[in-house]
Amino acid sequence: MKKEIGIMKDIFCRQIKWNLHSNRLLLFVLFIFPAYNFALNNNNQCDRFHVGTFIYESKVGKIIIIRKEKEEIDYREYPNHFIRQSVKWISSCTAEIKTLEMNDPILSPESINRSLNTTSYLHILETYPDGYLYKTTNRKGESDSYGKVQLYKGSL
């Protein structure tokens, strides 16, 4: 009789452990899947900012961005004062940006020479219906700037 009670206790303990393990697995799936799904959906939202006309506020005023598939031009004063850059999307929300040309009298010749042919990275951190939150980093991964870019609805 004692042996049978011991076997039943053993079976009961195994069943409890199995139920706890199953519940943990279920909780893990219930918490992780929505987070993964949100991240996946948010990344897909970045694609709509790969091409278009945008605007943001900088230290020197409003900057209008005209972004095409492989090129971006940032205008401080359209069409004369600009920075032209190549754009290569390395993921849905990250682009490699290389400065090709700069034409703006507020920039010193030394600043222009230092900036030409440098590579930086644009990271879209969060998307909104009317724009996105971004940060830029240099090749070393150090942050250069943060800001919010909005869709530009005006005329050039």
Domain boundaries, the chain: 50-151
Q: How many CB atoms lie within 10 A of CB 41?
A: 10
Mean local confidence (pLDDT), 105-127: 96
User: How big is the CA angle at 114 (ends 113 and 117), to the nearest 5 degrees?
Assistant: 80
What does the block give as tokens for 68? 């095409």
| Structure confidence at residue 8 as a pLDDT band (50, 70, 90) | confident
| Structure confidence at residue 20 as a pLDDT band (50, 70, 90) | confident
For residues 36 and 32, give the distance between their C-alpha atoms in angstroms, rounded to a whole number: 6
pLDDT of residue 26: 47
Q: How many CB atoms lie within 10 A of CB 129?
A: 7
Residue type, 143: S
> Do the beta carbons of residue 118 and residue 128 sit within 8 Å?
no
Helices (H), the chain: 2-46, 109-115
For residues 145 and 136, give the distance between their C-alpha atoms in angstroms, rounded to a whole number: 5
pLDDT of residue 24: 64
Three-class SS state of 126: strand
Residue type, 31: F
Residue 49: is it exposed, middle or buried by C-beta count within 10 angstroms (0-12/13-18/19+)? buried
Phi/psi of residue 107, each to 5°?
Answer: -95, 135
| Structure confidence at residue 91 as a pLDDT band (50, 70, 90) | very high
Mean local confidence (pLDDT), 20-27: 61
Three-class SS state of 112: helix
| Structure confidence at residue 6 as a pLDDT band (50, 70, 90) | confident
